[in-house]
Amino acid sequence: MNKDLFLIGVDGGGTGTRVALGDAQGRELAQATSGPSGLGLGVERAWQAIEAACADAFAQTGVAFDGSRCVLGCGLAGVNNRDWLAAFLAQAPALAGLAVESDAHTTLLGAHGGAPGVIVALGTGSIAAALEPDGVGVRTVGGYGFPSGDEASGAWLGVRAIGYAQQALDGRGPNDDFAQALLLHVGAHDRDSLVVWLCEANQTAYASLARIVVAHRAHPFAARLLGDAGIEIGKMIAALDPSASLPVALCGGLGAPLREYVPSAYQERLHEPLAGSAQGGLQLARREAARLAGEA
């Protein structure tokens, strides 16, 4: 393998991008973050965020970022849309190598160290995946995207929570502390200002409301919503592992907050992820570098 190469694992979602920079053997050198790079927010924006995070990681090591010396392993939200993926690949800068999979795939690699297991990735969106016993094949459920899918995700929670605030503004429901916290967050003080926010909001904006739901988890509506999220997580786990034999990791920003809401039947199988999606991307980059070396 070319010792002058650098390997970079990329975790790109609708809220932010995380990268792990490694040397040619995959030993981690630095981490960095930047803005969103989920493909649903635009391919050009995705590459800008990825390159910004890569440049930041290299700056930490005192080396200038040079894409031609880098093999990237990207786990990105939205790659299941073939048109978005094709556009992303077409706009790729000059790189030594590029491997792209779903963020579920790289999350799975990171969470279980490449061993068989189940992950439920819970961030702006959501998706669940299981690694086959051969360590290569991946099965997924969910992840159909905002607004119709991504159950138990931040955006899914946010869409439902803002409905509570809408009813509070109209007098159809109580204008309590929970409703006020939601309205304050979106900067709405009346019907018209809330409509303006709703017309401009994307999945990232809705997902930003999830932390308010979690902060008000003792509120009856929020508690019921979080309970519903737990039920959806259980359904994903059951679909991927009907034998109930694989370890399960809840990953992403909402993994820890939602853990207590997962039905009791699955609680004993829940384990902390060994590493994150960016580290899984680093594994993907290492595999791609080895493949390229074999072709050379």
pLDDT at 136 over 70: no
**pLDDT (average), residues 90-101:** 95
Instruction: Output the pLDDT for position 3.
Output: 64
The CATH 3.30.420.40 portion of the chain extends over 6-113+274-295, 154-267
Alpha-carbon distances of 123 from 56, 101, 230, rounded to whole Å: 23, 17, 14
Q: Which CATH architecture has domain 154-267?
A: 2-Layer Sandwich (3.30)
Kindly state the tokens that stand for 94. 């000059």
Percent of the chain with pLDDT over 70: 97
String of DSSP letters for 254-266: THHHHGGGS-HHH
Select the highest-mean-pLDDT range: 41-45, 70-74, 115-119.
70-74
Q: Which CATH architecture has domain 6-113+274-295?
A: 2-Layer Sandwich (3.30)
In the structure, what pLDDT confidence band is assigned to residue 143 with cuts at 50, 70 and 90?
confident
Torsional sign, CA 290, 11, 137, 42:
negative
pTM of the model: 0.78
pLDDT at 134 over 90: no
In the structure, what pLDDT confidence band is assigned to residue 25 with cuts at 50, 70 and 90?
confident
**pLDDT (average), residues 114-130:** 91
**pLDDT tens readout for residues 229-273:** 999 999 999 999 998 989 999 998 899 999 999 999 999 999 999
pLDDT at 68 over 80: yes
In the structure, what pLDDT confidence band is assigned to residue 133 with cuts at 50, 70 and 90?
low
Phi and psi dihedrals of 240, rounded to 5?
A: -85, -30
pLDDT at 162 over 60: yes
Phi and psi dihedrals of 201, rounded to 5?
A: -70, 135
Instruction: Output the pLDDT for position 154.
Output: 96
Q: What is the mean pLDDT of the chain?
A: 92
Instruction: Report how far residue 220's alpha carbon sits from residue 216's, in angstroms, rounded to the nearest whole number.
Output: 9
